[in-house]
Amino acid sequence: MRQNLFILISAIVIVLVACSGSNNGVKNVMPAAAPAKSAKSAKSAKSLSLAAQVGQQMFFDRTLSGSGKMACATCHDPKFAYGPPNDLAVQLGGPTLTDGGARAVPSLRYKENTPAYADLLDNPDGISVPGPGGGFNWDGRANSLVEQAKIPLMDPHEMANTRPADVVAKIRTSTYAPLFLQAFGSTAFANTDAAFTNATAALQAFQLEDVSFHPYNSKFDLYAGNKIGGTLTVAESRGLNVFSDPKTGNCASCHYQGAGLNGSSALFTDFSYEAISVPRNPAIPANSDPAYFDMGVCGTIRTDHLPISTDAPNPFCGMFKAPSMRNVATRTTFFHNGVMHSLQQVIQFYNTRDTIPQIWYPTVGGVAKRVNDKNFPTYGLIKTQYVGGKVQKYNDLKAAYRTNIDTQLPLDGRAAGSAPPMSDQNVADLICFLGTLSDDYDPAKTPTSATCAN
């Protein structure tokens, strides 16, 4: 669990002040942030290694799936920062492209500095208490991009190959088979297991080397690098303050990392895992079984941290990765189960999960009002107001594991009906700030929306 880390940014100097434990101010001043620059591994398309060139071909190759119609890029669309191209909670894959998976598709950008998973990973801020961190997927079950790539190729809900040998056979008859041999040796198809591992290494090489996975060219990068065009508007600056302020948004305590491990600029994740108890999503097919719970690091998809018996104490249950905030404004589906569909909804969830729980979790036993009160919020997941009944708070985490829920601001468990930590203005400003984290910003061409101007 990451504790309060907050940032104050002025020009290019990023001063980090962090707390270990919720309220103890252990102050620490970090050196000036590295100016925005491309990751060390970033190369132009021309200089991709042979392995990365194979990976590039594979990434867009639909024939590599059981259906023959699904490539990595189908779900990880480069036009959407290698995230999903639509607002479906989960994408449809499998042999006939009709099987909904269990989780929302993450962006593949800015993964190049992700460390391997550890139960007690040192926080990149160097101060916060070590906790679960690192690794790939929402539950960290893959330690490298090589390990990760095997999963979608074989997953019956995704590319749905039945055997690694099927993938190798398809590469062998592809137009890029000669490139594969050039990259991995003239006998590279002789051993199927070795060929499959090389194929996944090729996918990793493409993701690590191609600059499109880590362009570091958002408005925030211009701002942090003190470059022309990098002036935040008044609303965006206020949003940055909310993001960093431990008394309102406090987003930076989980969604910020200063100078990257390899000298890259801020990644907007500290790779940590927390339980924040997002509402259950009925749109996920597996959730039609009331006994099914996706509990992240403790299972059931991940299998090395399972509770030793049903409901046995286990600190990892309910934890999911705090993803990077870069390019988050290009998404239309949010959280591991894709239950939310706008940034306003996500931020209001953080703001009012505890103060207005009835708009996030279903109520049982109440009587629906014919007309909602005027002040009943419209941004929640639940659109009907009830009189009486019981709100099924934290309905996607088994009761035995609700003590794992993180308690730092803005999700500090305050009483229903009390004032939320952020004002509506704070929420609007935060949305403006998050918009500055989208790549391919061009000061001459990207207009600032009127709502974010001042």
Binding interface with ligand HEC (CB under 6 A): 70, 72, 74-76, 91, 93, 101, 103, 105-106, 108, 111, 136-139, 145, 148-149, 152-153, 158-159, 203, 249-251, 253-255, 274, 276, 278, 301, 320, 322-323, 328, 331, 334-336, 346-347, 350, 406, 408, 410, 430
- Which residue in the block uniquely carries the two structure tokens 């009830």? 386
Indicate the residue among 129 and 367 with the shorter CB distance to ligand HEC. 129
Minimum distance between the CB of residue 270 and ligand HEC, rounded to whole angstroms? 9
Indicate the residue among 145 and 386 with the shorter CB distance to ligand HEC. 145
Q: Which two tokens stand for residue 298?
A: 């403790």
Minimum distance between the CB of residue 257 and ligand HEC, rounded to whole angstroms? 13
Indicate the residue among 223 and 350 with the shorter CB distance to ligand HEC. 350
Minimum distance between the CB of residue 36 and ligand HEC, rounded to whole angstroms? 21
Indicate the residue among 209 and 385 with the shorter CB distance to ligand HEC. 209
- Euclidean distance between CA atoms 313 and 172, whole angstroms: 48
Quick one: how many helices (H) and strands (E) in the chain?
A: 11, 12
- Number of residues in the chain: 454
Minimum distance between the CB of residue 5 and ligand HEC, rounded to whole angstroms? 10
Minimum distance between the CB of residue 440 and ligand HEC, rounded to whole angstroms? 18
Nearest alpha carbon to residue 196 among 179, 174, 180: 180
Alpha-carbon distance values, 52 to 77, 83, 164 (Å): 18, 20, 20
Indicate the residue among 156 and 366 with the shorter CB distance to ligand HEC. 156
Minimum distance between the CB of residue 78 and ligand HEC, rounded to whole angstroms? 12
Residue 86 CB: number of other CB atoms within 10 A?
A: 11
Contacts of 63 (CB under 8 A, 6+ apart): 170, 174
Minimum distance between the CB of residue 55 and ligand HEC, rounded to whole angstroms? 8
Q: Which two tokens stand for residue 393?
A: 């708070």
- Euclidean distance between CA atoms 259 and 241, whole angstroms: 19
3-class state of residue 248 by DSSP: coil
- Euclidean distance between CA atoms 416 and 354, whole angstroms: 6
- Euclidean distance between CA atoms 385 and 358, whole angstroms: 8
Indicate the residue among 227 and 393 with the shorter CB distance to ligand HEC. 393
The radius of gyration of the chain from alpha carbons, rounded to an integer in Å, stands at 22
- Euclidean distance between CA atoms 156 and 161, whole angstroms: 7
The count of C-alpha atoms lying within 13 angstroms of the C-alpha of 325, restricted to the half-sphere facing its C-beta, is: 25
Residue type, 371: V
CB 265 within 8 A of CB 224: yes
Minimum distance between the CB of residue 14 and ligand HEC, rounded to whole angstroms? 18
Indicate the residue among 182 and 344 with the shorter CB distance to ligand HEC. 344
Indicate the residue among 25 and 31 with the shorter CB distance to ligand HEC. 25
DSSP 294-359: --BTTSSSS-SS--SSTT---TTTTBEE----TTGGG-SSBSTT--B-SHHHHHHHHHHTTTSGGG
Indicate the residue among 13 and 73 with the shorter CB distance to ligand HEC. 73
CB 317 within 8 A of CB 68: no
Nearest alpha carbon to residue 32 among 49, 60, 54, 10: 10
Minimum distance between the CB of residue 349 and ligand HEC, rounded to whole angstroms? 9
How far out from the chain centre does Cα 92 lie?
Answer: 19
Minimum distance between the CB of residue 136 and ligand HEC, rounded to whole angstroms? 4
Indicate the residue among 200 and 385 with the shorter CB distance to ligand HEC. 200
Indicate the residue among 184 and 334 with the shorter CB distance to ligand HEC. 334
Minimum distance between the CB of residue 211 and ligand HEC, rounded to whole angstroms? 17
